């Protein structure tokens, strides 16, 4: 079975500072990896995904993530955050299409609080 | 990208009643899912909605409590039956398109009193 652990429940950071949100996963087989953002009272929006290929993935809003197979990690980074980045961030995994419907298994979420 | 709408956006219901949530997507998709997000929690998959057949439920969720329909490729409903306060959650519809992108609807915020 697959599982996802987000290592920080809350990350406070000042505006224009860099940020890293940490995500580790557990799986005996290869997985697809995703980061989603949820703004207050809204649904989830896909930030980026890793399916295969380059381990550095660039997403929307200046976010990027690096897949590290040996560390089983998929940490999310942004070099300079804005107040508008304040939201809940979810890391998720999925099995490849051939062996799964594509259902997502989510981590517990990390609240990013950007302070002025 | 797929655009998903859900109805209702929120509701307050009494214990023992049922609520049906509708999910409509603007394009044909391969898979449709229903997730639950309890207050302050992450998302948990309830079931995969299969077109023209019974939904596939995850451990801990049963058809009698959460009946699901999917009559075509763009529409699905989730019913929360015989509600109790523990059912107070956000219920989200999700779809996966042919490029393996997965999109989420805005959610239905349910409060059971």
* Residues of chain B neighbouring A49 (CB-CB closer than 8 A): 101
**Cα distances (angstroms) measured from residue A54 to each of A30, A44, B4:** 15, 25, 30
Average pLDDT rounded to a whole number, residues B27-33:
86
Q: Do B101 and A106 touch (CB under 8 A)?
A: no
pLDDT of residue A97: 62
Question: Does residue A99 register a pLDDT over 60?
Answer: no
Average pLDDT rounded to a whole number, residues A35-60:
92
Q: How confident is the model at residue A100 (pLDDT cuts 50, 70, 90)?
A: low
* Model confidence pLDDT, tens digit, residues B53-111: 889 999 999 999 999 999 988 999 999 999 999 999 999 999 987 777 789 999 999 99
pLDDT of residue B40: 84
* Model confidence pLDDT, tens digit, residues A66-94: 999 999 999 999 999 999 999 999 999 98
Share of chain B above pLDDT 70, in %: 100
Share of chain B above pLDDT 90, in %: 73
pLDDT of residue A101: 67
Q: Which two tokens stand for residue A11?
A: 């990350």
pLDDT of residue B51: 82
Q: Give CA angle at B16 (B50, B45), nearest 5°.
A: 30
Give A69's contacts (C-beta < 8 A, 6+ positions apart): A55
Instruction: Please indicate whether residue B13 or residue B101 has the higher confidence score (pLDDT).
Output: B13
Q: Do B104 and A45 touch (CB under 8 A)?
A: yes
pLDDT of residue B15: 97
CA pair distance B69, A65, nearest whole angstrom: 37
Pairing of strands A44-50, A56-58: unpaired
Best of B21, B30, B34, B37 to substitute, by most chain A Cβ atoms within 10 angstroms, is B37
Interchain contact B41–A (C-beta under 8 A): yes
């Amino acid at each position: 079975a697959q599982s996802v652990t987000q290592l920080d429940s809350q990350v406070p950071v000042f505006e224009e500072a860099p940020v890293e949100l940490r995500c580790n996963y557990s799986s005996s087989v290869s997985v697809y990896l995703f980061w989603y953002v949820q703004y207050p009272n809204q649904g989830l929006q896909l930030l980026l995904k890793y399916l295969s290929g380059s381990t550095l993935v660039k997403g929307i809003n200046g976010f990027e993530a690096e897949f590290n197979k040996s560390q089983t990690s998929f940490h999310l980074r942004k070099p300079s955050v804005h107040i508008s980045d304040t939201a809940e961030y979810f890391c998720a995994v999925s099995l490849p299409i051939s062996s799964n419907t594509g259902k997502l298994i989510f981590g517990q979420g990390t609240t990013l609080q950007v302070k002025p | 990208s797929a655009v998903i709408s859900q109805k209702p956006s929120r509701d307050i219901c009494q214990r023992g009643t049922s609520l049906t949530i509708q999910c409509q997507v603007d394009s044909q998709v391969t898979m449709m899912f229903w997730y639950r997000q309890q207050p302050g929690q992450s998302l948990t998959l309830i079931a995969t909605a299969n077109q023209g057949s019974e939904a596939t439920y995850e451990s801990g969720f049963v058809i009698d409590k959460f009946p699901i329909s999917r009559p075509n490729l763009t529409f699905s409903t989730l019913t929360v039956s015989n509600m109790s306060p523990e059912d107070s959650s956000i219920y989200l519809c999700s779809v996966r398109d042919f490029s393996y992108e997965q999109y989420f609807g805005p959610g239905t915020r349910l409060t059971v009193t």
